Each structure stands twice: as structure tokens, then as C-alpha cells.
Structure 1
Amino acid sequence: MTSAPEPICRYVRAADGLRLHSLDYAAPAADREGLPPVVCLPGLARSADDFDRLAKALQADGRRVLALDYRGRGRSDWDEDWRRYDFDVEQDDIERQLADAGIGQAMFVGTSRGGLHTMRIAARRPGVVLAAVLNDIGPKIEHAGLLRIKRYVGRLPPIPSMREAIALMRLTAGADFAGVSPQEWEDYARLTFVEKDGKVLLRYDPELSHTLDGVAPDVAPAEYWDDFEALSKVPILAIRGANSDILSPEVFDEMARRAPRLEQVVVDGQGHAPLLLDPPTIARIADFVRRSA
């Protein structure tokens, strides 16, 4: 049996010249059979590498996967102007990355911010999104969760080693992610931080914190029900972390009411957002992709 090819790094220039990165997991059989690819969009401060286990599982199932790094994250260039870390600029970047990869239609997997991007694409470019996996995100975001995220994005105390970084993650998030194994914690920490020149650094531009400047106790978050309405025309797998403070059970159920083809999955022992590292969740997504093709 021939092993699946390793992902290749793709680079394309944004409209303003920044270099954008994505990981392309090829599946020659899928291309021959005309199977639509899967596009993975990460959360606010996350990267394409978050989807490696999922992408390899889908690739082994005969599916091409493209996982994107937004500007300022992962291997993409950082922007000198943090104001360009916004939805409209990122949407243009995504379109360029898809065009560079020759993808006109796809199934999308969106974690948190990536799910919002998926809804926006469905609303602005009808026909591009063939099916969607929304990982712990809905049209209404809980205020308390946004305030919590604002407290840590872009803020990193001095950490002397990756071992301490792993311990810090378990200390700060362990209560909401009691179902995550020690090995998964280590893997997730290495997806979050990088060791360079004897220091532990974030794998994203700390200036991303400014995207949350407008989040305040007395300011209600925007809602995206119109965008979700456009997405509701296609099959949806909605995933919720059982301990999520971003996607409430009430919004989760309202999504199912408004989208008759929506399937629900709750990941026990995880909060916002499920890490997509555990075999049962990966298998559930792979099954959905297989059936929705």
C-alpha cells in the first residue's frame, strides 16, 4: 500500500504583497474521481497545523485537504498594520489562496473564527461551500467567552521552556478540557508555541489582540444569523465543546432548528474550541465528509 504524500507548503501573495501560507494534502484519486476537496480554516490565533491529524485522516480516506494560515499566523507573514487583521482582508486572502490551489468549490471545516469565515463565504460567494463543519461557533457568540479570550490573546508571560508552556496550558485551561490526554496537551502546546533562540514564543503576531479592542462588558457582540441562513442550504456538522463559553446550548439548538440538514455533535470534556485531536471526533468528521460528498 502506497503511503499518502506529505503535505506541501503553498505560498501566494496577498493583494498588499504579504506572503500567505497553506498546507496542501494531496489525494490524486480524489482529483481523478472529481471529489471536492476539504478546506480547513483555523481560529483567531491558530494555524493550519491544528488540522494535521484531521487532514491526514481525510487524506487517507481519499480526500484532498487544504489548511490555511491567515496573515499573522503560522507560516504566513505578519502584517505591519494590525488593522488589516480583519474579516474583509482575510476573506480576500482566503480567496487568493483557494484560487492558487485551483479550488472553486469545497467542503469547509471552520474552527471558531474559521466558522465565521465559512458563513461569510457562503453568503458572499454562493456555491463555493458545498458542506460545512462548524467547530464550536455559531451565529451568536457568548459575551463572557469573548471577554475571556480577550484576556489572553497576545499576552504571554516569560516561559523558559516548552515543558513550562505545556504546564501553563494545562493550568489555565485544564478545568474546561478535562477530557484531553497528557499527550494531546503536549501536542496542542507545540501547535501554540515555538522554541526559538532559547525562548518560547507564540506562533502568531501578538498584535492580533487588537482585533478584540471593541470587546467590552457593555458592548454586545455582533450576530451573524443572515450569514448562517446562507450556509443553512448545505449539509452542516455543528460541533460543540460540552464546556464551551462561546457557543451556548440555546444557540446550538436554534442553529439546528433553522438548518434542517444540520447534525449536532457534543465533545465531552472539552471547551472552546474542541482541539480536533481525538480519534472519535476525527472519525465523526470523516464520516460526515464521506456522506456529504
Structure 2
Amino acid sequence: MPDYADGYWWSPDGLRLHYRDYPGDPAKPPLLCIPGLTRNARDYEALAARMAGERRVIAVDLRGRGESAYAKDPMSYVPLTYLQDLEALVGELKLDSFVAVGTSLGGILTMLMASTHPERIAGAVLNDVGPEIDAAGLGRIRTYVGKANWHPTWMHAARAVAESNAEVYPDYGTEQWLDMAKRLYRLNSAGRIVLDYDMKIAEPFRVPGNEAGPDMWRAFDALKGKPLLVVRGERSDILSAATAAEMGKRVKGSDLAVIPRTGHAPTLNECEAVAAIDKLLSTIG
């Protein structure tokens, strides 16, 4: 795992939030990496390792995840509040320009950030998400998000992750399931291995419409003229092939990388994703 510094910033409503800061060339726009709904900064360890000092990587823990504080008001677990949190971080770090890398919810936030300050977006990676989200995928996510569980060992956790994600990553083996478990779970003070997020993030997510912003196609259009990569899992039930195709039509010159035999969401460690991200970054500063 590459070296990083733990960074903290304060949200507008007074939460202490966390990010990992991996060093890189200060002359190049950094990568601002935003994870999905139940995920955290650990999802971007491999990407940061590939950058290996070449480009700065800032991987955030959204409120209620990882090492960031949990919100007192669960109804603040919505995209517009996350957007305000990220705007505070960008201001704190004085980021004039950055490449936004967003997985699922992180991609929705990437589009919203582009719609508010397009001049700061040097490029973007939208990982398995678009302006339209398939109802089937949302329904599936609502069945598990916010349901607490714990395991006595990491191998037990890995088996549970394998059982619930077998169709998403059909080619994974024990080592990959164990790695995923260690990104999803944490060891608590009682010695139990538990999911690393506030179960209350599910409360607003279960309300239809709260999973995204207002007009996401309008937000997506703010990426026109920017280097853009859309990554889609071939088996995705969140980003349909039709939506991905429409995204390509609306943002001319964007690239689409389809990850075979993968559902929602690709890890960005797949060879197709690695090659596409390298290609994107080669065109940016």
C-alpha cells in the first residue's frame, strides 16, 4: 500500500471529515476520488498505488463512512449535502483544477460538482453511473443498504461478501473476496468485524428521488468539452448500455470502457479500466 497522509476538514454543519492524501507531482491536476454509497477511501488504494507519486490522489470518506464523523441528522445523507462537504474540501485544499473520479454515488457527485464549477474540472471518470439510474439496481441496493451485520473473522466476512456479490464478480477467488471484505468492513472495539458506515445512510436513500440530484442530464452536460471516461460493468444493473450510449452522444470525444463479466461496480483495477484511465490522464496536464 502506498504512503499517504491522513487529512481532515470540517463540513459546513460541523462534522470532522477525513481524506487520504497520496503525494504526487504538484504541477499536475490531482485526482479527487469519491467512493460509492456504502464505500470509503480504501476503494482507491490500488489506483493510488498505480499513480505512485506521479499524480496526487485525494481519496475521501464521505460523512458517515470510514474515518469521517457520523451525522446527527440522518436526512443529511443526501447528494446535495455531500456536495457542500466536497466544496468545503476543495476550498480548504485550494484546488483550482482536479480530475474527479467517482464511483456510483461518487459519479453523481462528480456531475453535480461539474454543474456548479465546471472550470475546476480538468477531467472526469464516471464509474458505472450516469444521469439515469436503472430502477432494478436501485431496488437491489435498497434491499441491503443499512442492514447491520458482523463477523468473527475476516474469512467469515469474505465468505459473506462472496455470497452477496457472486453475480457481480463471477471470476473472483478467495484472495479477491478477502481484499474486498477489508475495504468494506472494519474491526470494532468489541473485536467484531462490522460494515464501515453509518447504518442510517439508508434512511434518506429509501425515499425515491434522494439517490441523485434534480436534473442529472443537465448536470452531466456540464462535462461537455472535458476529457471524460465512462466505465461500465457489462452486467451493470445501475448504468444501462442505452444510457451509456446516450452519454457518449452528448459528450463528444468521451471514451467508454466496458468491463466484461462484471456488474455494479467495477473496481477500476481491471485491465480495461487501467488502460482507459491511463489514456485519459495522458491528455491532462
Give the TM-score category using the shorter length. over 0.9
Please report how far the alpha carbon of residue 284 of structure 1 lies from its aligned counterpart in structure 2 after TM superposition.
Answer: 2.9
CA displacement 1:16-75 (0-9 Å, x = unmatched): 211010111111xx21xx211111011111111100110121234x11111111110111
Distance in 2, Cα, partners of 1:159 & 1:199: 6
Aligned equivalent of 2:131: 139
Q: CA deviation at 1:139?
A: 0.6
1: CA distance, partners of 2:259 / 2:95 = 30
C-alpha displacement of 1:180: 3.0
What secondary structure is seen at the aligned counterpart in 2 of 1:133?
Answer: strand
CA contact (8 A) 2:158 2:174 kept: no
Match of 1:177 among 169, 182, 193: 169
Q: Aligned Cα RMSD in Å?
A: 2.0
Alignment of 1:199 with 2:192, yes or no, is yes
- Structure 2 counterpart of 1:46, one-letter code: R
Structure 2 match to 1:57: 50
1:91 aligns to 2:83 (yes or no): yes
Kindly, what percent of the aligned residue pairs are identical? 33
SS at match of 1:24: strand
Does structure 1 retain, via aligned residues, the 8 Å contact 2:2–2:45?
no
Aligned to 2:18: 21
Q: For 1:120, give the aligned amino acid.
A: L
Q: TM-score, normalised by structure 2?
A: 0.93
- Matched residue SS, 1:240: strand
CA distance in 2, matches of 1:131, 1:181: 33
Residue 106 of structure 2: aligned partner: 114
- How much does 1:123 deviate? 0.8
Superposed displacement of residue 237, structure 1: 0.5
Q: Does structure 2 conserve the Cα–Cα contact (< 8 Å) formed by 1:232 and 1:261? A: no
Aligned to 1:292: 284
TM-score (norm 1): 0.91
Residue 168 of structure 1 corresponds to: 160
Q: Distance in 1 between matches of 2:17 and 2:153?
A: 29
- Identify unmatched segments of 5+ residues in structure 2: none
Letter in 1 for 2:154: M
Q: 1:256 is aligned with what amino acid? A: G
Hey, what does 1:46 align to over in structure 2? 39
For 2:2 and 2:237, locate their aligned partners in 1 and report how far apart those are by CA, in whole Å: 38
Question: What's the secondary structure of 2:220's corresponding residue?
Answer: helix
* Partners of 1:183 and 1:259 in 2: CA distance: 38
Query: Structure 2: which amino acid aligns with 1:119?
Result: M
Map 1:207-218 → 2, pairs under 5 A: 207-215=200-208
Q: Distance in 1 between matches of 2:123 and 2:167?
A: 33
Match of 1:40, SS? strand
Give the aligned partner of residue 262 of structure 1: 254
Q: What displacement does 1:199 show?
A: 1.2
| Structure 1 residue 242 displacement after superposition | 0.8
> Which residue type is aligned with residue 167 of structure 2?
A
- The Cα of 1:181 is off from its aligned counterpart by 3.8
Which stretch shifts more, 156-165 or 119-128? 156-165
CA distance in 2, matches of 1:265, 1:8: 31
Alpha-carbon distance change, 181 to 290 in structure 1, aligned in 2, over 3 angstroms: farther
Q: 1:100 aligns with which of 70, 92, 115?
A: 92
Aligned partner of residue 108 in structure 1, secondary structure: strand
Distance across 2 between alignment mates of 1:47 and 1:54: 14
TM superposition shift of 1:158: 4.2
Aligned residue identity for 1:238:
V
Q: Distance in 2 between matches of 1:280 and 1:185?
A: 20
Aligned residue for 2:140? Answer: 148
Q: Across the two proteins, how many residue pairs are aligned to each other?
A: 282
Q: Secondary structure at the match of 2:160?
A: helix
**Aligned-partner Cα distance in 2 for 1:205–1:241:** 27
SS at match of 1:232: coil
Q: What secondary structure sits across from 1:273 in the alignment?
A: coil
